[in-house]
Amino acid sequence: MEFKISKDLIQQIAQLIQEKNNHQLEILLNDMHHADFAEILDEVSIEEATYIFQVLDSEKTAEILLELEDDLREEILSRLSSKEIAEELDELETNDAADIIGELSKDRKAEVISELQDIEHAKGIVDLLRYDEDTAGGIMHKELVKVNENWNVMTCVKEMRIQAENISRVHSIYVVDDDNKLKGRLSLKDLLTAPTTKTPISEFYIRKLNYVDVEMADVDVARIMDKYDLEAIPVVDELGRLVGRITIDDVIDVIKDEIEKRDTEDIQKFGGLEALELPYVQTRLFEMVKKRATWLVVLFVGEMFTASAMGFFEGEIEKAVVLALFVPLIISSGGNSGSQAATLIIRAMALKELDLKDWWFVMKKEIASGFLLGSILGIVGFIRIMIWQQTGLYQYGIHWFAVAMTVSISLVFIVLWGTLSGSMIPFLLKKLRLDPATSSAPFVATLVDVTGLVIYFTIASLLLKGKLL
């Protein structure tokens, strides 16, 4: 059952903190899952959250640090002493501890590392801090179980028991040589079923295995682990030496971050601006203007063609002013239908539902969709003009029927064109090796605005010739 935070619980925690009843507070919170604990800290004041970290066992609170939102974690860490932070990090695996230390200032970072009790743990953290956070080295664990290829079964078991004490989960047993170069992996089943305890593992360890280089991008690591359905993968340096391991938990975080980043970029591009490198609140004014100005200028130039198209049909507008009344209706319908189609296709491409080879299938489907959608809007437009004319809300003149047919038929073709354009532009961009997300809603709308006017006034000149024109 999912944990639900109640106001009574928050009030109870606040009361215990006020009374400094640490024993009852520990009883209340100790059996709680760290993810639920993190939700509670989001609800209490920063002073209360800091107090909880200071009085509860660091073995419990260490995992909670990882679950907190970045801003809250930064605020709590700023209120804890270097020694208190070090106590929290001593309970975490090296990669998690390195992630948290990496958020501290340079001076504070050195202070916290000097306060760490486990020297080997501190060395592992410092080692990880050398790598970029978006590489295999930046997300790997230093803790792992490894055995020497020259050992026998009994020696392996003894050493594995010692090494496993510092690891929360053992996914694999890696085999190395005397120079710590990765040679293969050891199956636990093969180890347990070996003929004798003196059998050398060189007789049965598995020499073929997947591994990644320490400098490989984290997204590439995630792709390899997904491809081969791995729970963990070893990491080697440039000399082939075993330096760490990456687990499925680490990869899930990478995938989540990549999806969030990609979705943000796509949404920004689709909104008609270049993707921001930093979050909105951290982006400087000049950078924001630069990112937005380029597309605004392009779209403005595009809309200038709309004015040119209106000027080209100036004569028709002078003779039949009533046509100008429906220009906003006409161009918005085409732009909306094009934006809808572009959104559907770009999302399908992002989810790998569509590829370049599917363009003909999409075209046939969107032609049918565009015709039906245009017909629906055309019928609605015709009925609207007829009702206004018959009820006296507006007089369109003796040729109101021809005007209504012009608007109705124009809507059919403009919506059809908008749908077709919106669905095909992403394919065209992908064929040109450009990002389909750049076929933004404003870009599609601007294109359909110009061509929509041409379609509208061309149909008007055919249907109203000899009547209003």
443 neighbors 299 (Cβ within 8 angstroms): yes
**166 CB-near residues (< 8 Å, 6+ apart):** 143
Q: How far apart are CA 312 and CA 452, in angstroms?
A: 14
- DSSP 3-state of 212: strand
Backbone φ and ψ of 224, nearest 5°: -65, -45
Q: How far apart, in Å, are the Cα atoms of 218 and each of 99, 100, 102, 221, 243?
A: 14, 18, 17, 5, 16
Q: pLDDT below 50 — which residues of the chain?
A: 270-273, 280
459 neighbors 402 (Cβ within 8 angstroms): no
Backbone φ and ψ of 355, nearest 5°: -135, 180
27 neighbors 62 (Cβ within 8 angstroms): no
Query: Tens digits of per-residue pLDDT, 145-186?
Result: 999 999 999 999 999 988 887 777 787 899 999 999 999 999
Q: How far apart are CA 99 and CA 218, in angstroms?
A: 14
353 neighbors 344 (Cβ within 8 angstroms): no
Q: Which string of DSSP letters, residue by residue, matches 229-284?
A: T-SEEEEE-TT-BEEEEEEHHHHHHHHHHHHHHHHHHHHHHHTTSPPPSS-GGGS-
184 neighbors 175 (Cβ within 8 angstroms): yes
Q: How far apart are CA 418 and CA 449, in angstroms?
A: 9
**394 CB-near residues (< 8 Å, 6+ apart):** 388
Burial class (CB in 10 A: 0-12, 13-18, 19+), 163: middle
Residue type, 226: D
- DSSP 3-state of 162: helix
Beta carbons within 10 angstroms of residue 371's beta carbon = 16
DSSP letter assigned to residue 453:
H
Write down the pLDDT at residue 272. 46
Burial class (CB in 10 A: 0-12, 13-18, 19+), 328: exposed
Write down the pLDDT at residue 273. 47
Q: Beta strand 212-213 with 232-236: parallel, antiparallel or unpaired?
A: parallel
Find the farthest-apart pair of alpha carbons in the chain and give their distance in angstroms, rounded: 106
